[in-house]
Amino acid sequence: MNRPNPFKPVRQGASKAPKPIGIAADHGGYELKEYLAGKLREAGYEVVDFGDGRPKEDDDYPDFIVPLARAVAAGTVDRGVGICGSGVGASVCANKVAGVRACLIHENFSAHQGVEDDDLNLICFGGLVVGHALAWELLQTFLAAEFTGAERHRRRLAKVTDLENKL
């Protein structure tokens, strides 16, 4: 498969700059969030930071993940990165927002396959689980991937959207 270079920002048309990438974390993911936001900026991405602005032991991941997920669903940011201690809470929380397809990712195959087949738009990490270098590699893979739009994938996603609309 011929995928775009993961080390360059994804361009959505020759003359259009990519939309910003959103990022959010609680205290358990703060250090990883800061690292990834810096790497994204170095790579040429505009980053929208939804917090936490400083690590506080008593903060709660929904306070940061929900605004990020709403921005992803609204198209204000192209894709999102949600981080908490394990990544599980961030994933569960983000998926409560209609239009968001979030997943906890710890390996490369799912980082691209989730976008290509399932139109994944928010990647989640565990700040206490995954190392900085691996998280950066996975994030680059996620951002470089594109939804294939295959009929079978569109059909499945329509069923997910239908489920969201019935809830």
CB 108 within 8 A of CB 138: yes
CB 113 within 8 A of CB 147: no
Please report, for the chain, the start and end positions of each structural domain, with discontinuous segments joined by +.
21-166
The topology under which CATH files domain 21-166 is: Ribose 5-phosphate Isomerase B; Chain: A, (3.40.1400)
The residue with greater pLDDT, 8 or 143, is 143
Q: Does the pLDDT of residue 124 top 50, yes or no?
A: yes
- Mean pLDDT value across residues 73-99: 97
Angle between helical axes of 132-144 and 30-42 (0-180°, round to 10): 50
84, 93, 103, 124: which is the annotated catalytic residue?
84
Does 103 participate in catalysis according to the annotation? no
125 with 141: CB under 8 angstroms? no
Q: What is the pLDDT of residue 19?
A: 82
**Mutual angle of helices 108-118 and 132-144, in 10-degree steps:** 30
Average pLDDT, the chain: 90
State the pLDDT confidence band at 17, using cuts at 50, 70 and 90. Answer: low
The string of DSSP letters for 9-56 reads PPPSSSSPPPPPEEEEE-TTTHHHHHHHHHHHHHTT--EEE-S-SS--
